[in-house]
Amino acid sequence: MNRSHRLGFVPLAGLAALALVVAACGSSSGSGKKALTASATGITAKTITIGSHQPLTGIAAPGYDEIAPASNAYFQYVNAHGGVYGRKIKYIYLNDQYNPSITVTVVNQLILKDNVFAIFNGLGTPTHLAVVKTINADHVPDLFVASGCECWNQPKTYPDTFGWQLDYVREGKILGNYVEQHFKGKKIGLFYQNDEFGLDGIKGLKYEIPAKQIVAAEPYNAAASNPSQEVGTAAAKLKAAGAQVVISFSVPAFTALLRLSELGVSYNPQNVVSDVGSDPITLEGLLNSFAKKSGSFGKSLLQGIITDGYLPSLGDTTNSWIKLFTKIHNEYIPKLPLDGNVLYGMAVAYTFVQAMFRAGRNPTRASVLAAVNGLPQAVAVAPFAYSLTDHNGITGAYMAEIKNGVLVPIGPVQVTDDTPTGAITTYSGTQPSAPASGIP
């Protein structure tokens, strides 16, 4: 892994962190603690108000509609255990239906009417692209976008925006490297969302897979009026091209439609799916629903799909983070499935709370942005990229296979950068354990 562009800024990140600690611990009165004040828009002496746009209905809702409630469950847990320096987090998440025009309306409401301190985990590449300029123009912290688009990593253009999950270029490289090593000489087909999400993923794949192996590339439109027909056509073209391995950068609904379309044309390639569209529980439900089946139908169609994971596997019940989030799930959102989307929502919420504690007792928008730089690894299996010059999030993942409805890791955590020549190497560190309190 080429780390030189990150290591050069560690001292600056360390000084910023030290300054935050001093600010948090100092007191003009000599009492040892500053009184809590209304220190910024959305911050009162008792509350921290944040907001988000989420697809609670629409094509991207299956599975993704669980993310915000899961984040809110973790925030409720934190609130019940003292909050952030005594403040309770108020999380307002509004439905944008994965429709960019609605996203604009929703985010304007959050900023101008609800006066949120920050936009947190706004979901979707096309949707968040519709509002990122406005958020930055208003100097609202735009923290941990729920999208791995490289477009969030523009500190000079979007200084207030930070990614969180593994970016799609890194993910494409890791997936592509695995395919190149394990399916040498095989014909490769690509299936992808025709926007920055899919295009970034394809870019990473092509950094690792020789062009001569790629025999077909079929995009889809997330807003297609007849998605079943569009995906059916794509599956037929992939089969006709002789693709033996199909790599997908797709949201869950389109992953499920592709698998059903393959079945419909008697086509059974090795499917490799990005983390975004591979949650087994979500896919099983979608497959059964679309096909009007029940029982093990959906689960059987998922068996053997290869994917990647940048959070611990839910199948590892000994992992301290899985234990923590299972406990919170069972207490606050027991009616939701304990799946990858719930894990994602709680994990990103934990990162937000990390940043708020580092931002000081009376945080400002500037102090929380400074707090993100150098943010330490926690739930993710690899470190963050965050620095003064890098706003990407998680830097690595492990390869996994879907077996009996869960992700089973099939290799070590691999880390890389987002350049064409950056090496992919095995991560030599270890994931920290969850704190006993469950709070950073």
Show which of 309, 330, 349 is a domain's final residue: 309
Domain presence at residue 416: no
Domain presence at residue 434: no
Indicate whether 16 and 155 sit together in one domain.
yes
Distance of CA 249 to the CA centre of its chain: 14
Show which of 309, 331, 365 is a domain's final residue: 309
Beta bridge partners of 307: 400
Indicate whether 285 and 339 sit together in one domain.
no
Q: Who's near 174: CB < 8 A, 6+ residues apart?
A: 204, 308, 396, 397, 399, 414, 416, 424
Domain presence at residue 379: yes
- Give buried/exposed letters for 97-123 (b at 16+ CB in 10 A, else e): bbbbebbbebbeebbeeeebbbbbbbb
Indicate whether 195 and 72 sit together in one domain.
no
Indicate whether 122 and 187 sit together in one domain.
no
Structurally, how many domains does the chain consist of? 2
Indicate whether 121 and 159 sit together in one domain.
yes
Q: What CATH number has the domain bearing residue 183?
A: 3.40.50.2300
Domain presence at residue 263: yes
CA pair distance 208, 105, nearest whole angstrom: 40
Domain carrying residue 194: 169-309
Indicate whether 216 and 266 sit together in one domain.
yes
Residue 34: per-residue pLDDT? 84
Indicate whether 332 and 391 sit together in one domain.
yes
DSSP 197-226: HHHHHHHHHHHHS-GGGEEEEEEE-TT-SS
CA pair distance 130, 167, nearest whole angstrom: 19
Indicate whether 243 and 355 sit together in one domain.
no
CB neighbour class for 3 (10 Å; exposed up to 12, middle 13-18, buried from 19):
middle
Mean pLDDT per 10-residue segment, the chain (440 residues):
32 39 37 84 98 96 96 98 98 98 98 98 97 98 97 97 98 98 97 96 98 97 93 98 98 97 97 96 96 93 97 95 98 97 98 98 98 96 97 98 93 97 96 97
User: What's the pTM value of the predicted model, to 2 decimals?
Assistant: 0.90
Rg (CA), the chain: 21
Indicate whether 291 and 323 sit together in one domain.
no
Show which of 288, 309, 330 is a domain's final residue: 309
Domain presence at residue 298: yes
Q: Who's near 133: CB < 8 A, 6+ residues apart?
A: 158
pLDDT tens column, 70-99:
999 999 999 999 999 999 999 999 999 999
Long-range contacts of 206-213 (CB under 8 A, 24+ apart): 206/172, 206/176, 207/169, 207/172, 207/173, 207/176, 207/420, 208/172, 208/173, 208/176, 208/177, 208/179, 208/180, 208/424, 209/176, 209/179, 209/180, 210/180, 213/185, 213/186, 213/187, 213/188
Indicate whether 141 and 73 sit together in one domain.
yes
DSSP run (H or E) holding 104? helix 100-108
Indicate whether 59 and 73 sit together in one domain.
yes
Domain presence at residue 426: no
Residue 356: per-residue pLDDT? 98
Domain presence at residue 371: yes
Domain presence at residue 419: no
CB 250 within 8 A of CB 273: yes
Indicate whether 130 and 20 sit together in one domain.
yes
